[in-house]
Amino acid sequence: MAAAPAPKRALQLWAEYLQVARGLSPHTVSNYLRDATMLMAGQQAIPTKRQAIEAHFTNLKTASPRSNARRLSALRQFYGYALQKGWIENNPTQDIPAPKLPQSLPKALTTTQVEQLLAAPLGHSPAEVRLRLILFLLYASGMRVSEMAGLTLHDVQQAEGPWLLVTGKGSKTRPVPLGPIGQEMLATYLREARSRLRGAQGPWLLAGPSGKRPLTRNRIFQLVQEAGQRVGVKVAPHHLRHTFATHLLEGNADLRSVQLMLGHASLNTTQIYTKLNTQRLKSALDNHHPLNQAGFGKPRKPC
């Protein structure tokens, strides 16, 4: 067995492996590293006992099951890497059960809310043309906000026809179709607005002020939120992604196509939207069928 480095050095090597060999984004690597560092803090050697890891989670009394599930996933990947390097003899996280998570359904906007948002009275300044493009692309393509932020002019130019080349999780690239309106918005932005924005000399479709980096996820979140506030719609970028998928399935799109457009690795992830549709059907029945209205169909008292 190879000599194990100190925990801090081991985490540094693991982070380099995640970013270089596995191609994970700096944001994802930073999250994994933060979660694993919580266990390693103050340790002189890499903990190798299952009991020590379980005690670590027990001490996180205020952590939610979702947070602990994420932390356990990060630790499993770190220990898998340590095992591969020969620093440990077995993975102590392998048999630790993941916390049970309550299944939450994504929040989707109604078609009326989407129409209000997209028809918001924006002006014709470069920033407002960019905002209109952001709103339309999120709803028209279902891409993640991080995927939108990472789009370059090369991604637009290399695509054939009405497509964008989107780089998703694990640096996997997929073509994402755009409808006629999305194509028109993109062409208008490139023709009339982008060159007049700060940072236009950079390679990014949605460039940040310096041009060296794209607009941040937080800035896109803020812009979308502010657009919603103008028309009284509470919205964030992930709501438009969920709405994209929900509206497709409500229109009888097949699940496999929606999976590919969303960039889900597993069809199981996409299936949550079918449960959302079922819930909406039940709500429609409860609220609108005559048999569920007060007094309808009940026997009348004899005169």
Supply the residues annotated as catalytic. Answer: 144, 169, 238, 241, 264, 273
| DSSP calls for 90-133 | S-TTTTSPPPP----PPP---HHHHHHHHT----SSHHHHHHHH
C-alpha 130/C-alpha 224 separation (Å) is 11
What CA–CA distances, in Å, run from 233 to 119, 166, 277?
Answer: 12, 27, 21
**Stated length of the chain:** 303
What token pair was written down for 213? 């980096």
Residues 6+ apart with CB under 8 A from 236: 221, 224, 225
CA–CA distances in Å: residue 95 to residues 48, 49, 82, 116, 199: 13, 12, 16, 50, 49
